[in-house]
Chain A
Amino acid sequence: MDWHIIIAAVIKIVVFVFLVTLPMVAMSVWAERRVSAAIQDRVGPNRVGPFGLLQAVADGIKFLLKEDFTPNHVNKFYFWLAPALTMVPALLTCAVLPFGSQLFGEKMVIADLDVGPLFVFSIASLTVYGIVLAGWSSNSKYSFLGGVRSTSQMISYEISLGLSIVPLIMIYGELNLGRIVQEQAINGWALLPLWGEGLSLKGFILAIPIFISFIIFTTSMFAETNRLPFDLPECETELVAGYHTEYSSMKFALFFLGEYAAMIIGSGLAVTLFLGGWSLPFGWLAPSGIDAEIPWWHGLIHIGTYFAKVIGFILFFIVVRWTLPRFRYDQLMRLGWVFFFEIALFNVVLTAILLAIFK
């Protein structure tokens, strides 16, 4: 056994998942509250720590200390299982996201799988089990309706989500996320083919299907993460709190964290696929190849770039949430099945034709 690989993997897991992603979840809750407050001419949490930054810590302590209440009428086993089933898949998908190029010769990805996007989709679709179990085992009508809504919504949007990245995979001919990013670093981001080989007629023409993909992917991501304008599983005005109505304390916190974790992973995936991941624009500091040696400070800059992009995307998520009203349920289903599904299919065909022309 090569201890070196295991130790490196453990360090990457601990640092990336537990020291970066989870605090980011907490901070994005704080950011959400501050941004929404500013949008609504309020102040937001500003009491705990400087600018209220420690609010997330206070919230965490509160969640830990609150009474962990299990109602009498619930199905205990599934009731306890559901929060874990929501949180775990969300964090699992972190494994394949390349959050940097390399540092001291080590690739900045936990598992350098050759089927990255497929792994993400397969694991992320497990989240729906957590939600449907929560809704069903709570044995309450609001939870049940929330669970049912969530299930149908996630199933509907998973299809267009999957189809939307097919053109991208066709263009890159690659399923390894690390190599996709490397390709983008040298030859222009998928959405911004402004340098390298991307700066050509082929690059500009192929940007059209990629743009369509991006729109479908982002919108479906909103739906997958149950956020406004697609937060029908929770919608307070109709379902109290949807599938987690009966949950309290840390079990509720797990749902909460799972939702935000899904948002961060979604942002990471979008950044990786469409916005060049850890790469800087115009090929600056781009490594010449996937295994090329680079100085350590390049690696650090790449990690920083990646997280800057993710944070920007999260802010976009937040602003959208506080801008758009909620869709009606039939509109949501119509949008998913009648428009996105067809457009995504058409987009695959279009890409194939374009690729055949620009061989």
Chain B
Amino acid sequence: MAIIVQRPKLKWWEQLYIPALFIGMRVTLGHLVSILSRKTKVTMQYPEEKWDEHLPEHYRGAPALVTDEHDRERCVACQLCEFICPPRAITIKPEEIPGDDKWAKVEKRPRTFDIDMIRCIYCGLCEEVCPEQAIFLRKDYAITGTSRAEMVHDKEKLYQIGGVRVGLVNKWNELK
């Protein structure tokens, strides 16, 4: 469907563009003056100033695995996050929980759980898809490293970032 744009009828002095130039410059110079006189302040000087205390509840930082108050690693290696991950940042190798383990009835856990933080786009789909409430996006945003290998978060690192989360649904309770 074609949309016909109504072009404004310009007066002859408007067609010279010179008045428009000065109107435009009034705007840009206005900003220039107000920023130089420190009337407005928009940018934050990042490493010195931080926004950490203002981060919203829904802020999406680095994904991490959590344990619960029963000291159980919640991930059961269903690999749904690996499947949903748009940049394929997650790699999971599952394994069977040995029979003498306290949580042997859960049967399955990740042997390795790697998130390549170079690939991660912080979309939060892994958190959304997780049927076990095991992966959460934390507020950590300054994920840096000096090598590619350092940027791959392994299982240990992920649990270290994630820590313990209480009050989640205890699916694997004594009734299960």
Residues of A participating in the B interface, judged by any CB pair closer than 8 Å: 35, 37-43, 215, 319-320, 322-324
Q: B27 touching A323 by the CB < 8 A rule?
A: yes
B5 to A: closest C-beta gap in Å:
14
Residue of A nearest to B45 (CB): A43
Q: Residues of A contacting B42 with CB < 8 Å?
A: 41-42
B132 to A: closest C-beta gap in Å:
44
Q: B31 touching A39 by the CB < 8 A rule?
A: yes
Cα of A42 to Cα of B25 in the assembled complex, Å: 17
Cα of A40 to Cα of B35 in the assembled complex, Å: 9
A32 to B: closest C-beta gap in Å:
13
Q: A319 touching B43 by the CB < 8 A rule?
A: no
Q: Residues of A contacting B28 with CB < 8 Å?
A: 39, 319, 322-323
Cα of A42 to Cα of B29 in the assembled complex, Å: 13
22 contacts between A and B (CB under 8 A): A35-B32, A38-B31, A38-B32, A38-B36, A39-B28, A39-B29, A39-B31, A39-B32, A40-B31, A41-B31, A41-B35, A41-B43, A42-B35, A42-B42, A42-B43, A43-B45, A319-B25, A319-B29, A323-B21, A323-B25, A324-B21, A324-B24
Cα of A35 to Cα of B32 in the assembled complex, Å: 7
A51 to B: closest C-beta gap in Å:
12
* B-side interface size class: 10 to 19
Residue of B nearest to A335 (CB): B17
Q: A43 touching B43 by the CB < 8 A rule?
A: yes
B136 to A: closest C-beta gap in Å:
34
Q: Residues of B contacting A38 with CB < 8 Å?
A: 31-32, 35-36
Q: Which of B31-76 contact A (CB under 8 A)?
A: 31-32, 35-36, 40, 42-43, 45
Q: Residues of B contacting A324 with CB < 8 Å?
A: 21, 24
Q: Residues of A contacting B43 with CB < 8 Å?
A: 41-43
Cα of A76 to Cα of B36 in the assembled complex, Å: 47
Contacts A38-B36, A41-B42, A42-B42 given: A323-B31 contact, CB under 8 Å? no
A157 to B: closest C-beta gap in Å:
16
* Interface-central residue, A42, A319, A322, A323, by most chain B CB under 10 Å: A323
Q: Which of B1-40 contact A (CB under 8 A)?
A: 18, 21, 24-25, 27-29, 31-32, 35-36, 40
Cα of A324 to Cα of B31 in the assembled complex, Å: 15
Cα of A119 to Cα of B168 in the assembled complex, Å: 80
Q: Residues of B contacting A42 with CB < 8 Å?
A: 35, 42-43
Residue of B nearest to A41 (CB): B42
Residue of A nearest to B25 (CB): A323
Q: Residues of A contacting B40 with CB < 8 Å?
A: 41
B92 to A: closest C-beta gap in Å:
38
Q: Residues of B contacting A40 with CB < 8 Å?
A: 31
Q: Residues of B contacting A319 with CB < 8 Å?
A: 25, 28-29, 32
B104 to A: closest C-beta gap in Å:
56
Please give me the 6 A-B residue pairs with the lowest Cβ-Cβ distance, nearest first. Answer: A323-B24, A41-B42, A39-B28, A38-B35, A38-B32, A323-B28
Q: Residues of A contacting B32 with CB < 8 Å?
A: 35, 38-39, 319
A37, A43, A320: which contacts B21 (Cβ < 8 A)?
Answer: A320
B18 to A: closest C-beta gap in Å:
8
Residue of A nearest to B18 (CB): A215
Q: Residues of A contacting B18 with CB < 8 Å?
A: 215
Cα of A320 to Cα of B27 in the assembled complex, Å: 11
Given A39-B28, A41-B43, 17 more contacts at CB 8 Å?
A38-B31, A38-B32, A39-B29, A39-B31, A41-B40, A42-B42, A43-B43, A43-B45, A215-B18, A319-B25, A319-B28, A320-B25, A323-B21, A323-B24, A323-B25, A323-B27, A324-B24
Cα of A320 to Cα of B31 in the assembled complex, Å: 14
Q: Residues of B contacting A41 with CB < 8 Å?
A: 31, 35, 40, 42-43
Cα of A39 to Cα of B30 in the assembled complex, Å: 8
Q: Residues of A contacting B31 with CB < 8 Å?
A: 38-41
Cα of A38 to Cα of B29 in the assembled complex, Å: 9
Cα of A322 to Cα of B32 in the assembled complex, Å: 11
Residue of A nearest to B36 (CB): A38
B88 to A: closest C-beta gap in Å:
28
Cα of A322 to Cα of B35 in the assembled complex, Å: 15
Cα of A38 to Cα of B40 in the assembled complex, Å: 10
Q: Residues of A contacting B25 with CB < 8 Å?
A: 319-320, 323
